[in-house]
Amino acid sequence: MPIYEFRCLDCQHIFELLALNKEDQIEAKCPKCGCDSFERVLSRTNYTMSGSRSGAGSGSTSVSNRSCAGGSCTTIDIPGPSK
């Protein structure tokens, strides 16, 4: 059962909702202000590495804009082991 993160379009509060099925319509309100207008946001990842001392990976996700052949592109660098 996936948990999705949403941002309230009124107060910008980020909150989580549990979705039983991907196709389900989510009818909810912001727990902070009660607004029913929100958008889904990209959630940060949590990972565990074999032999890691802490239970979760450390580091942060970075987003950068780069020039591509077709114009500008947005890339997301997720921390973790290199290939």
Looking at residue 23, its pLDDT comes to 67
Looking at residue 18, its pLDDT comes to 82
Q: Where are the beta strands (DSSP E) in 9-80?
A: 14-18, 38-41, 62-68, 71-77
Each residue's pLDDT tens digit, 4-55: 888 999 999 999 888 776 666 667 889 999 998 988 888 766 656 665 555 4
CA distance 66 to 43: 22
CA distance 26 to 38: 10
Sign of the torsion angle spanned by Cα atoms 16, 25, 2, 41:
negative
Task: Give the residue, 79 or 26, on which the prediction is more confident.
Answer: 26
